[in-house]
Chain A
Amino acid sequence: MEALLYQIFSGLANGIIYGSVALALVMIYQATHHINFAQGEMATFSTFIAWWLIQSGWPYWGAFFFTVAVSFAGGLLVQRIILKPIEKAPVMTNVIVFIGLLLIFNAFSGWFFDHTIKSFDSPFPKDSALTTKYFSAHQFGSAGVLLLVLIGLFAFFKFTPIGLAMRAAAQNPDSARLVGIRVSWMLGLGWGLAAAIGAIAGMMVAPIVFLDPNMMAGILLYGFAAALLGGIDNPLGAVIGGFIVGVLENLLGAYVIGTELKLTVALVLIVATLTLKPAGLFGKKVVVRV
């Protein structure tokens, strides 16, 4: 019983991370209808920036918010400079550019910050009232951060004119132009937001898995699984999907298939979701008139 509970809670803790990565994927998908394969590597690069700032003597939260801001600007620039010219290009062109970005950011991380594994401190104290047998303070802390991000995003999309304009641009770009929305900039904003969320996910995951250029490679797969399972167009679904994937992966790993095959869980989930319920658990079924 004890061990089972432990597995569940540590699965939930992983789920937080998968959920944040999934959230970033959903953000870009909602804005552009593409899945950004470079999401993980961009997040890793952002985390390296935070690491470097902290090494140079910045306080943690100063480095955190600065990194989020830089990542937002970086995401926006990537869209403006690299993706804008291929906005109208076929999906495959975009996919290839995403893979190119993945390699570029991965190489940048190694080039600027080298390939040695680095430890990244958690901003949350090791011993606190919140620390329990099953849940560390860092896990509580990252859950809180994710919750804040979710609430912030929800409020942004629901209550601000720009948030509304972004939703309109994603849903119906032609009509959005006809009410004066600069659709292309909305895509840029979507990239910025996704990069910022990715940076947060990276900084939350780094204390657990240590920082190296390939830190997010496996996590991105779990993030894909979470986003697809929850419904690729539903931010809340992505987070719930993250928890489901986290717990499922841990339980299956511990009791059924062994820890070596854990990553298979993510891949099986991706294939199963796409074949059995393509819209995901909470996604909207898209019907196209032909």
Chain B
Amino acid sequence: MSKLLEVGKLCAWYGATQVLYDVDFSLEAGHITAILGANGAGKTTTLRALCQVVKTSGSVVLDGTQVVGKSTESVVRMGVAHVPDGRGTFTGLSVEENLRLGAYARGNKAEMLEDMERMFTRFPILKQRRHQQAGTLSGGEQQMLAISRALMLRPKLLLLDEPSFGLAPLIVAEIFRIMRTINKEDHVSMLLVEQNASLALDLADHAYLLETGRVALSGPSDTIKNDESVRRAYLGY
């Protein structure tokens, strides 16, 4: 298995406040990897650091290319799609315009239309709502739109920040089922940040546990799931 992403000694700051301290991890191509941790552990910041949205130092190598120092736009154009916390929907634009924007960096209209049809097959509700203003969608629909928009990039790596946040359990199950399908069928590698540890560990192949900006534990999901301390602290049994 080749490494899609290798992260070494990654540090990140908000202004003068350091949030990540020498984080090391790597992602296998085609896998789903989860980052777990409590509030403020640095999960969201890790994703933001990969996209160069926050000030970072260290090394992030995607497919052999160094990412640190590039602009966010350039990282996206290398094939990293980010579904940020709060979903990053363009609320004033229509569902269809949101999807078109997802493929903006690729600039290929024929493929864009083709992908849009695929998204509509996968999420039929979005097709019904295609001319509706995205801000009027329900939370679950907006999450589906956010994932679809990210997939419109045909990403090498999909970064997902708390896709379960604020959604009803049934919707969450639906979204996680679709994510698994996308991973299996389209071979999109994913890096998933979740507070809901049991949900994330069921989906992911591999997991990292962050504690106050440092990697505390890592391993295959099954190992992590059975780790005594993780079970007590994050899974609650």
Beta-carbon contact of B82 and A172 below 8 Å: no
Beta-carbon contact of B107 and A177 below 8 Å: no
Cβ < 8 Å to B, chain A residues 123-169: 161, 164-165, 167-168
Chain B residue numbers with a CB within 8 Å of A177 are: 53, 71-73, 76
Contact residue among A164, A174, A181, A183 (Cβ-Cβ distance under 8 Å from B84): A174
**Chain A residues touching B, majority SS:** helix
Beta-carbon contact of B93 and A181 below 8 Å: no
Q: Which residue of B lies closest to A177 (CB)?
A: B72
- Is A259 an interface residue when CB atoms closer than 8 A count as contact? no
Contact residue among A164, A167, A172, A182 (Cβ-Cβ distance under 8 Å from B73): A182
Say whether, besides A178-B51, A179-B102, A179-B105, A171 and B88 are in contact (CB < 8 Å).
Answer: no
For A, the interface residue count at a CB cutoff of 8 angstroms equals 18
**A174 to B84 Cα, complex, angstroms:** 10
Chain B residue numbers with a CB within 8 Å of A179 are: 76, 101-102, 104-105, 149, 153
- Is B3 an interface residue when CB atoms closer than 8 A count as contact? no
Chain B residue numbers with a CB within 8 Å of A164 are: 93, 97, 100-101, 104
Chain B residue numbers with a CB within 8 Å of A85 are: none
Cβ < 8 Å to A, chain B residues 55-101: 71-73, 76-77, 81-82, 84, 88-93, 97, 100-101
Beta-carbon contact of B90 and A180 below 8 Å: no
Q: Which residue of A lies closest to B75 (CB)?
A: A180
Cβ < 8 Å to B, chain A residues 214-240: none
Q: Which residue of A lies closest to B92 (CB)?
A: A171
**Which A residues have a C-beta under 8 Å from some C-beta of B?**
161, 164-165, 167-168, 171-172, 174-183, 284
Interface CB pairs A-B, < 8 A, 16: A161-B100, A171-B90, A172-B91, A176-B101, A177-B71, A177-B73, A177-B76, A178-B51, A178-B81, A178-B88, A179-B102, A180-B73, A180-B153, A181-B101, A181-B104, A284-B92
